[in-house]
Amino acid sequence: MDAEKQPLRIGLIGFGCVGQGFYDILQAQSGLDLAITRIAVKNPTKPRMLPAERFSYHADELLNDLELDLLIEVIDDPDEAFRLVSTALRQGRRVVTANKAMLARHLPELVQLQTQFGGTLLYEAAVCGSIPVIRTLDNYFIHEPLRAVSGIFNGSSNYVLTRMSAQGFGYGPALAEAQAKGFAETDPTLDMGAFDPRSKAVILAAHAYGVFLDADEVLNLGIEGIGAGDMARAAAQGRKIKVVAAVQRLPNGHVTALVTPQLVGPDSPLYTVEHEFNGVAIEAVYAGTQFLTGRGAGGHPTGSAVLADVLALQRGLRYGYTKQATAPEAQLTTELELNAYVSHPDASVLREVLTWLELPAEALRTDAHGAYAEGSVAVQQLWSWRKELRTNGIFVAREGSIRAAAPVAEAVAAVWA
């Protein structure tokens, strides 16, 4: 008779929202042959749901415990996460991470470490919570050319926008409610400033196109300056405002990416994605458009993605990065434009902004809520003034997709028939 099968021994680094969510799910499941053998946390005085003897307070102790079969990293410090994950990969270990900011900045190096030392890194939980978008891109669309991967990648900002749109909340009260429910952090900058979905877009670019983008070069505009007037104007046109991340192929074959609020209508599948849910549209050349939706925030949805990665490691799954060999060039700001909606309560402030963005003065409009303008804007201008726009509370949304500037578009033949 064979010896009794031993469960996979897991070292869990981090026991916050995601770590506890994963722990809860694993405790509720039977027959998975998984055991959380050790847990490392940073703060020894923080109250926790498990007795103190279950915890280690030095993550390196788990790195040095070679009896652990795999490591799960779910902390909120991207620098420390990179140190832990890269060290584990140099040891040839199997690792699961949910740290999207760390991945967006260090993915090329981490991929190289896997190749060099034979370890394996999976990170489905880092992008869109419970939605298996990385696995879908890496397996199903492994060889198919894609026109675009876009969607709502941040449940926190989507929750705020839903409350503002459906219930008429102001930005401040909607954000406070999201924080109270655990959908937004005490410091909401990463979510409301669209830095979080920018990281996710960078990760998806590697799987959709084989392109490793620099996150700092991808334009991201958030919703900190949004007001009731923006919601009212969108509703009057039968549209909603959503923060949409997009990675798409341009007619010249280059790949671009950006994250901004966008005015979407009922014809878009994103129109009905509300509260903390995410939605991802994959536009493939042959398969057409596929749409995935699910919870994008919360411990249990993200914990379920961590569990999926653990079970995938148990089966020997690795990401292939197949498209890296034929990766196109990136074109992130130069010679690109979009149709922009720009607003601010003070018309004199907005009038100055129009000069920044090279929009004509006659584009300025006023109503009971304040001032707004619409027009074609160069992405490079938005990029150049992005910090000033944020500092001055300017709200910017796009209408439709990013595109090549007119002279360039006329000179380039379309790649797709």
Query: How does DSSP classify residue 229?
Result: H
Contacts of 173 (CB under 8 A, 6+ apart): 163
| H or E element in which residue 178 lies | helix 171-180
Type of residue found at 231: M
Phi, psi angle pair for 291, to nearest 5°: -125, 125
- Is-catalytic flag, 200? yes
Calpha distance 34→312 (Å, rounded): 12
Which two three-digit tokens encode residue 355? 């000069």
The CA distances from residue 274 to 4, 36, 157, 233, in Å, are 47, 34, 10, 19
CB atoms within 10 A of CB 167: 10
Contacts of 37 (CB under 8 A, 6+ apart): 9, 10, 11, 67, 68
| H or E element in which residue 15 lies | none
Calpha distance 136→176 (Å, rounded): 34
Query: How does DSSP classify residue 184?
Result: S
* Beta-carbon-side half-sphere exposure of residue 142 (alpha carbons within 13 Å): 9
Which two three-digit tokens encode residue 384? 């150049």
Residue among 200, 240, 242, 323 flagged as catalytic: 200
Measuring CA to CA, which residue among 143, 71, 93 is closest to residue 320?
143
Phi, psi angle pair for 374, to nearest 5°: -140, 145
Phi, psi angle pair for 175, to nearest 5°: -65, -45
Calpha distance 304→294 (Å, rounded): 12
Measuring CA to CA, which residue among 115, 120, 124 is closest to residue 292?
124
| H or E element in which residue 373 lies | strand 370-378
Active site residues: 200
